[in-house]
Amino acid sequence: MHSSLRLPLGITVLLSAIALPTAAQAQVTVSGYLDAGMYRDYDKTNRLGTIQRSNLAFAGVEDLGGGLKATFRLSTRFEMGTGAPEGQGSKPFWHDESTVGLQSRWGQVRVGRALSAMWSQEWKYDAFSNVNRIASTAWHMAHTFSPTDRASNNGDPEYGRMANGIFYDSPNWGGVTVHLSASPERTQAPGRDGRATSAAVNYDQGPVAGMLGYERNGSGDKDWFAGGKYRFGAAAILLSYNRSTAGDSSDKSRMVSVGGTYDIGATTLRASYGQQRVHLDASSGDVTNKMASLGAEYKLSKRTMLYTSLGHQRFTGQSSRTAFGAGMAHAF
């Protein structure tokens, strides 16, 4: 007897496509980000695994002539500690992105599943890029009542990615880019039926960057986001504001955060502070949540770094709690 290695159908088809003759004039790249660390979570549990994010991506581009290119991207996210897909099976295999599109001097259009227009830009205005589960104020306090889709993760909410979507990213016009996304399909969330739309305008030129974003999911929840960044020498200051409202109640959340980064040789220091005010229909008054965080990264090379993160939360109705950890990340 002998055993054979069985791969998911998506990977099998992809590897077969990569093996086609080079005469097709298509360029295919394999990339990823591997992150693992040890940390003590806010629930006082010791954990080993991904603190930021880990993903594996396949991307391709084919020159069709006349300035037109065909593109695709398939990306999955997973937990380094167990090797399991992120979300423990609740999310689709190609959770991160699964798109095919066309690109020209007028921009790029993609079809499939990807970060919505607003979410594709808002991470730039968080000191921890909205991926650090210990230290990111955006991770813990932004977009409370407005997931991008309440049902796309096999019935569970998805914060960030739009399924069955059409995505447009403009060229860079003097530092200005426009990003749009929408789904022609109606959401499947019970009792809250509609189509999702999202838009963002981003400016990044010289020392100044800023964005305005708006999103309405298919369930009627709404999300507004504004961010700003100013760079001077080795330092940068980041500001963000988020307001999210529920579509079927008066529940709403407002979050303001300020952060900063500072480079000292191969070391980058990070800090962030956020405050959130939440209004609940069932509550007699608003509640206020606060969070502060610190972090440091040391680059061993352009692709590999060591880092440490610390976060402290004071949420209304809960005792103060702290999370901390250290890890290693490698990009390829």
Residue 153: C-alpha distances to residues 92, 158, 187, 194, 328 (Å): 6, 6, 12, 17, 29
Predicted confidence at residue 5, as pLDDT, reads 40
CB 38 within 8 A of CB 46: yes
What stretches in the chain show pLDDT beneath 70? Answer: 1-25, 188-191, 284
Residue 37 is part of which domain span?
Answer: 27-44+53-331
Mean pLDDT of the chain: 91
Rounded Cα distance between 264 and 312, Å, is 25
Q: Per the domain annotation, does 248 fall within a domain?
A: yes
Q: Per the domain annotation, does 18 fall within a domain?
A: no
Q: Per the domain annotation, does 151 fall within a domain?
A: yes
What is the SS3 assignment for 15?
helix
Residue 60: C-alpha distances to residues 33, 96, 162, 180 (Å): 18, 16, 21, 22
Predicted confidence at residue 8, as pLDDT, reads 54
DSSP of 39-67, one letter per residue?
EE-TTS-EEEE-SS--EEEEEEEEEEETT
Looking at the structure of the chain, the number of domains it has is: 1
Neighbours of 151 (CB within 10 A): 19
Rounded Cα distance between 15 and 178, Å, is 34
Q: Per the domain annotation, does 19 fall within a domain?
A: no
Q: Per the domain annotation, does 21 fall within a domain?
A: no
Give me the torsion for CA of 244, 248, 250, 254, rounded to 10°: -10
Q: Per the domain annotation, does 7 fall within a domain?
A: no
Buried-exposed string 287-306: b where 16+ CB fall within 10 A, e elsewhere: eebbbbbbbbbeeeeeeebe
CB 279 within 8 A of CB 250: yes
Q: Per the domain annotation, does 10 fall within a domain?
A: no
User: What's the CATH number where 39 sits?
Assistant: 2.40.160.10
H or E element that contains 14 = helix 9-18
Q: Per the domain annotation, does 3 fall within a domain?
A: no
